[in-house]
A and B are shown apart, each in its own frame.
Chain A
Amino acid sequence: NAGVTQTPKFQVLKTGQSMTLQCAQDMNHEYMSWYRQDPGMGLRLIHYSVGAGITDQGEVPNGYNVSRSTTEDFPLRLLSAAPSQTSVYFCASSSPGDRGRLPQHFGDGTRLSIL
């Protein structure tokens, strides 16, 4: 049972560099989301997708892009890394069943430092 797989687990970047955080799920979930976790702030939604080809912005989308070409994958791109993007990033997925009451499943996170 792989569940939600995130890579890499750790990454250090220099300001201005770009990179892609990978997220894959093998549960055939339609819904996928990206969150960032910062000390004392809980988790905040960056972008989400309700199905292949459909994405939308969350609370804190600036500086990030996403795409959803397949049901399984939902990569998050940092276009030009900034120190304010130093954070732990979590990908989550869920099924639309049970009228929206099903929980989200989370990956183990990517710890990203921007120097």
Chain B
Amino acid sequence: GDSVTQMEGPVTLSEEAFLTINCTYTATGYPSLFWYVQYPGEGLQLLLKATKADDKGSNKGFEATYRKETTSFHLEKGSVQVSDSAVYFCALKSGGSNYKLTFGKGTLLTVNP
């Protein structure tokens, strides 16, 4: 079945540091890939997505590239801010099953000033 493996957290960085959160997946067919962000006490918000190989999703300075050859979708940001402190979830949707996302376990990011 489908699965997502995410970098274990927590991750603690200083402001303006470079961020990478690793995400690899197993899926049948050609999944769509997503990163969601959850700020403290809130629901999940879509951060970015990619729907086919070599697509790059980007938003708010975050980027992730859909790498089919390595089955990866790593999240990166060049310079993090305190306001980026949140839990980040990698997720996939496969086979046109719009009702179901398969999530990684989430990575807690804390950015210190």
Contacts and interface: CB of A to CB of B under 8 A. Distances in A.
Given A31-B99, A94-B99, A100 B32 contact: yes
A103 B36 CA distance: 10
Interface in B58-87: none
Contacts of A103: 34, 46, 49
How many A residues are at the interface, by size bracket? 20 to 34
A50 B43 CA distance: 22
A90 to B, nearest CB: 6
A33 B89 contact: no
Contacts of B44: 43, 90, 92, 106
Nearest to B47: A103
B101 A100 contact: no
Nearest to B93: A100
A45 interface: yes
A106 B43 contact: yes
Nearest to A49: B99
A95 B96 CA distance: 11
B32 A48 contact: no
Nearest to A48: B99
B43 A107 contact: yes
Query: Would you list the 4 A-B pairs with minimal beta carbon distance, nearest first?
Result: A100-B96, A42-B103, A48-B99, A108-B43
Given A100-B32, A101-B93, 19 more contacts: A33-B99, A40-B106, A42-B89, A43-B101, A43-B103, A45-B101, A49-B99, A90-B43, A90-B44, A92-B44, A95-B98, A96-B98, A103-B34, A104-B46, A104-B98, A106-B36, A106-B44, A107-B43, A109-B43
